[in-house]
Structure formats: structure tokens, C-alpha cells
């Protein structure tokens, strides 16, 4: 017996509702694909901003986040008074109160300078600044070395060489920057009274020590201030003058009224009719005056 073939079920055309659902699904799928492609392209775009996923804590932009520090670095030490390696040409005095006394202890500059001068005896010196003076040791050492290393200073005559050495090195003398009370005691211990009007006023030299008074280092002296001579020039003068004493030079007078004052004139107190001048040499020659 031959079975009767079963006819396939009749396929009815989709209704309007089914067609609407089909096109809606297709449109949704296309929208998903387009959005995904746009996101991928944006992530690959060189100029696109990085995606930052916020943490549970406060949101911090990557560029503003502080670096992680596990231990203090040398540069993280407490800040001090900024070094004054240069002064404006118009500066006659530094503003602010000057410490009258420090700790009585000194910090010594480290390192060595080149040898200043080409010929002659070599004398080595150290540089020290009183702790509590609010002055920077390295800056003071730089100014002392720059002054003594100048061809207008004591090494310019070809009979002397100078070199700054560190605090632990053997030295022939030391240049000190001290508060007025400490300078007064140091000078008096060496036989020199630097008081004017009952107050330690000038700087001095004692055996092996050129002592710069902090008051003068910051405030200059009346003859310079009245003549509107910059503080930077007074500083050169006082270094050359006190080191000059250590090198064996004594006080001098003015050789010619209105001319430049020899550096061994006591210019802190009076110019003796001369004009302020900071150097032992002028135009390649020693500038001297009559002995006092």
C-alpha cells in the first residue's frame, strides 16, 4: 500500500505586525554595531583622552596626582634664607632686621676652589658662616672666592697665590661671617676692640682670622651709603681689607684727594677725602697710600 504523501504546511505571508518587529530588530542590531565601532575607533584615535576609572576615594586627575615618596630626599630639607649670590646694582642696604647674635658655632664651606694667581707663595683659606646668622654658607664662600680670585685683588701682582679649601683641610687662615656680638667677642679675644658707640661695629682681623661683621655685610657703612655706592662693592672692599691685614698690610691714608681710596684705608669709617674703591690694584698696578 502506498502511503499518501503529506503536503507541507502552507506558508502564510507575514502579517504587518511581524514585519514591523523584524525591521525594528535589524535597526537595533545596526545601532549596536555602529556604536561599538565608534567606541573602538575613539580608543585608537591618537588624540583621544584616556579613560579614567574613578577609584573608591576622591577622584584625582592623573596629571595632578602627587608622586609617591618613600623616603625624604636631600632636596626636601627645611628651607632656609635664600642665597644672595648677586645684588642689584642699586642696592645700598638689605632690608629687614639683622640678627645681633647667633649660636657662636660656625658652618664651614666644603670643596676647593681653583688656585688664584699664577706665581708666588700659595696660601690656603677656609670660609665659615655663623649658625643662626640666616646667611647661606655656600653663597658667602662663593662671594669670598670671587673677590679674592679677581685680578684686581691680592693675587694680581704675581707674588701670591690663594686657594679656598674645605673646613677639614689644613689652611693658613679663615674668613668668618659672624653676627655683631660674636664678631665683637672674637675680635676682642684677638686684641682688637671693634665697638663704636658701645656696639660691635667694624670688622677685624686677628691671627689667622679675617672676621666680617654681619651688620656691615648687610647694611654697608655710612661713607658708602652717602655716596650711593652699591652694597656689592662694599662687600668686595671689606673682604679685601680684612684679608689684606692677614697678608701683612696695615692701614693707609688717601694719596690724592678725590682719587680712588686704597683698599687699606678704613673706608668703613671714613674715606679720608678719597672716593670709595674696593680693590688693592687699579689698572694693573698696586694702589697704595701713605702709612698711618
pLDDT per residue, tens digit, the chain (292 aa), is 333 333 333 434 444 444 545 455 454 444 434 444 433 333 333 333 332 223 333 332 333 333 322 223 232 233 344 444 578 989 999 999 999 999 999 999 999 999 999 999 999 999 999 999 999 999 999 999 999 999 999 999 999 999 999 999 999 999 999 999 999 999 999 999 999 999 999 999 999 999 999 999 999 999 999 999 999 999 999 999 999 999 999 999 999 999 999 999 999 999 999 999 999 999 999 999 999 9
Angle at 121 between CA 85 and CA 130, to 5 degrees: 35
Q: Is 281 helix (H, G, I), strand (E, B) or coil?
A: strand
**Per-residue pLDDT, 85:** 53
Q: Which residues contact 154 (CB under 8 A, 6 or more apart)?
A: 148, 160, 162, 240, 243, 244, 247, 280
Q: How many angstroms separate the CA atoms of 182 and 239, rounded? A: 18
Q: How many angstroms separate the CA atoms of 194 and 261, rounded? A: 21
CATH of the domain at 154: 3.40.390
List b or e across 192-224, with b for residues whose CB sees 16 or more CB atoms inside 10 angstroms. Answer: bebeeeeebbbbbbbeebbbbbbbbbbbbbebb
83 is a domain residue: no
Q: How many angstroms separate the CA atoms of 96 and 135, rounded? A: 13
Number of domains in the chain: 1
CB 229 within 8 A of CB 109: no
Q: How many angstroms separate the CA atoms of 65 and 55, rounded? A: 13
266 is a domain residue: yes
**Per-residue pLDDT, 59:** 30
Determine the structural domain holding residue 227 and report its residue range. Answer: 106-286
**Per-residue pLDDT, 87:** 85
Q: Is 209 helix (H, G, I), strand (E, B) or coil?
A: strand
Q: What is the 8-class DSSP label of residue 120?
A: S
- H or E segment to which residue 164 belongs: strand 160-164
119 is a domain residue: yes
30 is a domain residue: no
57 is a domain residue: no
Q: How many angstroms separate the CA atoms of 225 and 228, rounded? A: 5
258 is a domain residue: yes
Q: How many angstroms separate the CA atoms of 163 and 121, rounded? A: 11
Q: How many angstroms separate the CA atoms of 87 and 94, rounded? A: 9
CB 155 within 8 A of CB 148: yes
Amino acid at each position: 500500500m502506498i502511503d499518501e504523501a503529506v503536503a507541507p504546511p502552507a506558508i502564510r505571508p507575514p502579517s504587518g505586525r511581524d514585519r514591523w518587529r523584524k525591521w525594528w530588530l535589524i535597526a537595533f542590531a545596526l545601532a549596536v554595531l555602529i556604536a561599538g565601532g565608534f567606541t573602538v575607533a575613539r580608543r585608537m584615535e591618537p588624540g583621544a583622552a584616556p579613560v579614567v576609572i574613578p577609584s573608591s576615594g576622591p577622584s584625582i586627575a592623573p596629571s595632578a596626582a602627587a608622586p609617591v615618596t618613600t623616603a625624604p630626599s636631600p632636596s626636601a630639607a627645611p628651607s632656609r634664607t635664600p642665597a644672595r649670590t648677586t645684588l642689584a646694582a642699586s642696592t645700598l642696604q638689605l632690608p629687614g632686621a639683622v640678627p645681633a647674635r647667633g649660636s657662636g658655632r660656625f658652618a664651614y664651606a666644603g670643596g676647593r676652589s681653583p688656585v688664584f694667581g699664577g706665581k708666588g707663595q700659595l696660601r690656603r683659606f677656609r670660609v665659615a658662616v655663623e649658625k643662626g646668622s640666616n646667611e647661606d654658607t655656600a653663597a658667602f664662600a662663593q662671594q669670598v672666592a670671587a673677590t679674592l680670585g679677581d685680578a684686581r685683588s691680592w693675587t694680581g701682582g704675581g707674588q701670591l697665590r690663594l686657594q679656598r679649601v674645605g673646613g677639614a683641610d689644613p689652611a693658613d687662615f679663615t674668613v668668618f661671617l659672624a653676627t655683631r656680638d660674636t664678631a665683637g667677642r672674637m675680635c676682642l679675644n684677638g686684641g682688637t676692640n671693634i665697638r663704636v658707640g658701645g656696639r660691635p661695629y667694624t670688622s677685624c682681623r686677628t691671627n689667622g682670622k679675617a672676621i666680617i661683621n654681619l651688620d656691615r655685610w648687610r647694611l654697608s657703612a655710612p661713607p658708602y651709603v652717602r655716596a650711593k655706592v652699591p652694597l656689592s662693592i662694599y662687600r668686595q672692599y671689606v673682604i679685601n681689607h680684612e684679608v689684606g691685614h692677614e697678608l701683612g698690610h696695615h692701614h693707609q691714608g688717601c694719596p690724592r684727594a678725590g682719587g680712588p681710596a686704597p683698599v687699606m684705608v678704613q673706608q668703613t669709617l671714613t674715606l679720608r677725602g678719597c672716593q670709595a674703591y674696593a680693590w688693592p690694584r687699579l689698572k694693573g698696578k698696586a694702589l697704595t697710600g701713605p702709612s698711618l
